[in-house]
Structure 1
Amino acid sequence: MTTLHHEHPTHEHAHGPACGHQEVPHGDHVDYAHDGHLHRRHGDHWDECEPSGHAAHERHEHQHGEGCGHTGVPHGDHVDYLHDGHRHAAHDGHWDDH
């Protein structure tokens, strides 16, 4: 699965460890949850960090939700859950890797 390059053109806020936004480990970088989407540094600007395609997380029996023990991150019209270094999102009766 690849990540689309979608620049966030009017983003003047500098994310970092003390910026106040949820840090989300994502592969080889860190995303920051901000205004319902995720930002990642890309050179001298910030991108929306959105996967392309559909990647179902196979054999995931744990049910995420309030009180499940995993951090929820608002993401657009749903909540992703941080689990084992990636984000899980509910999708049609299974969990996707975001």
Structure 2
Amino acid sequence: MTTTTEHRPHTGHEHAHAGDCGHASVQHGDHVDYLHDGHAHHGHGDHYDECDIEGLHVEAEAHEHTHGDGCGHEAVAHGDHADYLHDGHRHAGHEGHYDEH
């Protein structure tokens, strides 16, 4: 994963992240990033900071639902594939499972 020393506050975020907030989390150095709406951020004082997630591979929770045309979840173009908005997450198919994006 790419890291940066640049301080990039994430604005307009009303949701409080925690271990049970429903968003995927990943350890990132000395803090935990929460994957949310296609990006990662972590708590920093009274706000959240953005983190670079390029190359990050976080497998989504297992679920029986298969995403695709007509599945009922909104598709969002993401590079060379589509992510599907699912229960507050963005899922992308990857080698027999879904990744969090």
TM-score, normalised relative to structure 2: 0.51
Unpaired runs of 5+ residues, structure 2, are 55-93
Counterpart in the other structure of 1:72: 99
| Structural RMSD (CA) | 2.5
Residues 40 and 50, structure 2, Cα contact 8 Å, conserved in 1: yes
Residue identity opposite 1:66 in structure 2: E
Q: Secondary structure at the match of 2:34?
A: strand
Q: What's 1:37 paired with?
A: 39
Identical aligned residues as a percent: 57
Amino acid paired to 1:26: H
CA displacement, residues 23-57 of structure 1 (integer Å, 9 cap, x when unaligned): 11101100000000001111110111127xx9xxx
Partner of 2:78: none
Residue 73 of structure 1 aligns with an amino acid whose one-letter code is E
Match of 1:58 in 2: none
Q: Which amino acid in 1 is paired with 2:24?
A: Q
CA distance in 1: counterparts of 2:38 and 2:10, whole angstroms: 13
Contact in 2 for aligned 1:9/1:46 (Cα 8 Å): yes
Aligned length: 61
- Residue in 1 aligned with 2:29? 27
Structure 1 unaligned spans of 5+: 55-64, 75-98
Deviates more, 1:13-22 or 1:39-48: 39-48
- Cα displacement (A) at 1:12: 0.8
Q: Is the 8 A contact 1:21 1:32 kept in 2?
A: yes
Q: AA paired with 1:30?
A: V
Structure with the largest fraction of strand: 1
